[in-house]
A and B are shown apart, each in its own frame.
Chain A
Amino acid sequence: MSHSTVPRSSTEAAAPEKTPVASGDAIGPREKPPAGKLTLRHRFRRDRVMVLMTLPAVLLVLVFNYLPIAGNVVAFQDYDPYVSDNGVIAILNSPFVGLENFQRIFEDSAFWNAVENTLVLFFVQLVLFFPIPILLALLINSVVRPRVRAVAQAVLYLPHFFSWVLVIAVFQQMFGGAGMLSQLLRQNGYDGIDIMTNPDTFPFLLTAQSVWKDAGWGIIVFLAALASVSPDLYEAAAMDGAGRWRRMWHVTLPALRPVIALLLVLRVGDALTVGFEQILLQRDAVGPGAGEVLDTFVWWNGVRNQDFGYAAAAGLIKGVVSIGLVLAANKVAHLMGEQGVYKK
């Protein structure tokens, strides 16, 4: 990828989209391979200021994203963090057990249960959550009066800033077994219903909470994309006799398509990450049978049971599968003619 690719000339810097990654890397056909090394140095000298400016960010990524990857080695160990005060020494002093942790995982029904829950939740959220911000964005976009629009946006964004603890407490007060809805039903002669502790509907409960909290926040990207649609297009379409729906179909949605594709790819890459805090806070309410997802599985075994090697192995599997998913989703995006997350 390419943010690090350096445009060949500074004039091109203004138009980076003209310098796709691949050709940038290959240094271009005009320059001869033997000169490669020299060219690199040459380019470095030319752009050293910019390289320098990226250093802090690179350092951050290295220290907090890449360095910890080395810690995955504990997945192949019977890791005991308590043998030393120093994490690195603890790793050196823990015995290697080969693939034993992975073997245990594949035999562990709790792991497969977590995988299943994760996937179910992913699909439910994909179908029920993903389209909502798009619809909301279209709705907001159609509001013409700026005041109304500002108020609506504020109201929609607000829940995003509530913590999960708060959101779940509110849901509990409303829909819990002794909550408002249940008491209302009971007072009118019906049975109370306890939505909060029903394992069968748990994925829908989680999705409803996510929609309430984050759907509004999710419209920001789409609104930005909508703002970039030239009004000329609408005018032209209207002149040609396109009605409201046709304009949406032929102008608005095509404008949103790249963004939707990009977000879909990202979402698929994140498929195995379905909301750790939200689920952990409710795991006990429905039991691990319905409430255990991969992230809580890792947390439960690692942090709570201190079986760190085992948890790391589960985390590693999740990471590898996620990379595969991103690559696959990206490929699909390319096939559909979209840019995706990166381009070859």
Chain B
Amino acid sequence: MTPNAASASSGPSRRSFLASTAVATAAVAGGMPLLAACGGSDGGSRDGTTSGKDAKKILPAYVASNMVKPDIPSKNGSAIGFTGKLDLSTLKTSVAKKLGKGGKVTVMSPFWGSPPKQNNSYYRAMNDLIGVDVVWHNQDGNTYDQKLGAVLASSDVPDVVVVPGWNMGGKIPSAIISKFADLGPYLSGDKVKEYPNLAAIPTGAWQRSIFGGKLRGLPMPQSSAPSMVPLYRQDIFEKEGYEVPKSCDEFMALAKEITNAKAKRWACLDMKWTAFQAFGVLSGSEKPLGWNLVDGKLVNRVETEEFLEALEWSRMLFAAGVVHPDSKMGKNAPDAGPKFAAGEFLIYPNNISQWWGRTAEQATQNPDFKIWGMDIWGHDGGDPTLWAEQPAGIFAFVNKKAPESVIRDVLAVANVTAAPYGTKEYMMTNYGVEGTHYTVKDGVPVKTDQGNIEVMNAYVMVASPAATLAHPDFPEVAKGQVLWQQRMGAFAKKSSFWGMQITEPARYTNLSNDFEQLEDDIVRGRKKISDMQQAVADWKSNGGDKLRDWYKKLLDENGSAAS
């Protein structure tokens, strides 16, 4: 339970990582704590974190890539942005010779949307470029947590398994440590230089890839600036004269104005994630992020007033009837994409990558469609308090049983997918093949229908360059995204355990399993706020307080990144 651990997955249930996800170069520079060895005395070597000298020994060396200079450098933990025109004829080559040895590698990965056919032209082109025969086992990303545990418990684990941080609940961390290979012998220190694009991944992201004292993950770096954006239909807002709200009250008023159920229009989907931001609730994307040191005492997000207030406000939206009825179904709801395009609702919170994803998807068939991101407001109209995201949130792991040849092939895959913007490899990974997946119009790549179907998820999940926002097809979207991150990043603080990869002792892993479910029940009016208070009281007495002590000890031993 990760995500839901203390909270909920705040992981958006529908994160679409279409292409670039962002990350913060700043993460590296930013204050990585010097961590010191395992904190927990009580769980053997599996729980705790790895830091300081121990971490230094296994972290890969960092060799910056200077392939292309960003138009907008990182600020406030934002991704780097490329908003100028991309000269497709002078793309650089970051992988001089194919590193793949032609082996076959199976990869299980979450997929948001409808997966394309196996062996499609995008997969073939990528495999040719890499020199490895990658076979994708795509699984529904929204219910990935429900499959992961069973797959890892079987004796037939794929060569590579992609695991998002918010899916690391229950005993998954234990599974990661016992089922996946130590990549240290191939990547630690200068060894990574054999894979220059991996060497250019920020150290903060690698730091997060240490599980059980060994470097096991290939990270997808992300920016520490917030990535959960309240997205809205700017075209309809303009047509109807709606103003972007600046407080919770304004939002409510606007929502009531927009909603016209008779005409099949509602204001929004479940706004829980935005509410958490507006009320300054600690992140729920990962258990350790839910803790913060306040006046010498660690406080968990579920114990805060803000948490309850955010739930209450989200509940009021449902009660006011301004939320699209499908949202009541939670994870069982049908795909919201087509309904957003049809204008059945105008606002929903999701990962920043959907800003571009939806734009590209609708560009040809729905030319008026314009999606944009709202600035997050403080609930009372002031500045919001936001919490920094981890330097890496999604990891690819290699099966422990894989022979060296397979591990080398996987690293060859990662070295291509981690190629920075402005290279042929980046273009292929994110846009596919010219003429098939995109066409060039006035020097701008435009995704074809086939491109929108096939060039989704998959390869970008294996390892990525430092967080980058670059959409040569829609440079104004990239610009909007980066500037949004910079504005919001200015309000972002780091909580006490930011940047660390922490494994909780086994006996606490199921402690907060049901919080996310309870949040959703309350927001939908099926449970009361007092039920949550009761659940928190139970949580404390069942081990929450002991867990607090455990974290405190970890903090005392390792120091904090808090800001």
Q: Tell me how far the C-beta of A267 lies from the nearest C-beta in chain B, rounded to whole angstroms.
A: 27
Chain-A contact segment, one of B67-75, B474-482, B521-529: B521-529
Residues of A within 8 A of B (CB): 78, 80-87, 110, 169, 172, 176-178, 182-183, 186-187, 192, 194, 196-197, 199, 281-290, 303-308, 310
Q: Tell me how far the C-beta of B430 lies from the nearest C-beta in chain A, rounded to whole angstroms.
A: 32
Q: What's the Cα separation between A161 and B119 when bound, in Å?
A: 30
In the complex, residue of chain A having the shortest beta-carbon distance to the beta carbon of B157 = A85
Q: What's the Cα separation between A290 and B172 when bound, in Å?
A: 28
Q: Tell me how far the C-beta of A57 lies from the nearest C-beta in chain B, rounded to whole angstroms.
A: 27
Residue with the highest number of chain A CB atoms closer than 10 Å, among B153, B178, B513: B153
Q: Contact at A281–B332, with CB atoms within 8 Å?
A: yes
Q: What's the Cα separation between A199 and B526 when bound, in Å?
A: 8
Q: Contact at B329–A285, with CB atoms within 8 Å?
A: yes
Q: Contact at A80–B506, with CB atoms within 8 Å?
A: yes
Q: Contact at B514–A285, with CB atoms within 8 Å?
A: no
Q: A305 — which chain B residues lie within 8 A by C-beta? A: 1, 149, 169-170, 510, 513
Q: A282 — which chain B residues lie within 8 A by C-beta? A: 329, 332
Q: What's the Cα separation between A11 and B146 when bound, in Å?
A: 56
Contacts A187-B262, A287-B520 given; does A306 touch B527 at CB 8 Å:
no
Q: A199 — which chain B residues lie within 8 A by C-beta? A: 526
Interface residues of B in 132-152 (CB under 8 A from A): 145-146, 149-150, 152
Q: A197 — which chain B residues lie within 8 A by C-beta? A: 325, 328-329, 524
Partner of A306, one of B171, B326, B330, B526: B171
Contacts A197-B329, A303-B149 given; does A192 touch B506 at CB 8 Å:
no
- What is the interface residue range for chain B against chain A? 35 or more
Question: Given A81-B153, A288-B514, A305-B170, 6 other A-B contacts at CB below 8 A?
Answer: A80-B506, A82-B152, A197-B524, A282-B329, A303-B146, A305-B510
In the complex, residue of chain A having the shortest beta-carbon distance to the beta carbon of B174 = A82
Q: Is B440 an interface residue when CB atoms closer than 8 A count as contact?
A: no
Q: B328 — which chain A residues lie within 8 A by C-beta? A: 177, 194, 196-197, 285
In the complex, residue of chain B having the shortest beta-carbon distance to the beta carbon of A192 = B261
Partner of B517, one of A172, A177, A287: A287
Q: What's the Cα separation between A196 and B328 when bound, in Å?
A: 9
Q: B171 — which chain A residues lie within 8 A by C-beta? A: 80-82, 306-307
Q: B514 — which chain A residues lie within 8 A by C-beta? A: 110, 288
Q: Tell me how far the C-beta of B153 lies from the nearest C-beta in chain A, rounded to whole angstroms.
A: 4
Q: Contact at B175–A289, with CB atoms within 8 Å?
A: no
Q: B333 — which chain A residues lie within 8 A by C-beta? A: 285
| A-B CB contact pairs (8 Å), 21 listed | A80-B171, A82-B153, A83-B178, A85-B401, A172-B334, A176-B329, A186-B262, A197-B328, A197-B524, A284-B330, A284-B332, A285-B332, A287-B517, A287-B520, A303-B149, A303-B150, A304-B146, A305-B513, A306-B153, A306-B172, A310-B510
Q: Ordered nearest first, which 7 A-B pairs have the shortest CB separation?
A: A177-B325, A284-B330, A306-B170, A81-B153, A82-B175, A306-B171, A285-B329
Q: Contact at B517–A288, with CB atoms within 8 Å?
A: yes
Q: Tell me how far the C-beta of B424 lies from the nearest C-beta in chain A, rounded to whole angstroms.
A: 39
Q: A289 — which chain B residues lie within 8 A by C-beta? A: 521, 526-527
Q: What's the Cα separation between A84 and B175 when bound, in Å?
A: 9
**How would residues 474 to 514 of chain B score, 1 for a CB under 8 Å from any chain A CB and 0 otherwise?**
00000000000000000000000000000000100010011
Q: B56 — which chain A residues lie within 8 A by C-beta? A: none
Q: Is B541 an interface residue when CB atoms closer than 8 A count as contact?
A: no
Q: Tell me how far the C-beta of A188 lies from the nearest C-beta in chain B, rounded to whole angstroms.
A: 9
Q: What's the Cα separation between A290 and B524 when bound, in Å?
A: 13
Residue with the highest number of chain A CB atoms closer than 10 Å, among B506, B524, B527: B524
**How would residues 312 to 332 of chain B score, 1 for a CB under 8 Å from any chain A CB and 0 otherwise?**
000000000000111011111
Q: A304 — which chain B residues lie within 8 A by C-beta? A: 145-146, 149, 169-170
Contacts A82-B171, A82-B179 given; does A284 touch B526 at CB 8 Å:
no
Q: Is B344 an interface residue when CB atoms closer than 8 A count as contact?
A: yes
Q: A306 — which chain B residues lie within 8 A by C-beta? A: 149, 153, 169-172, 175
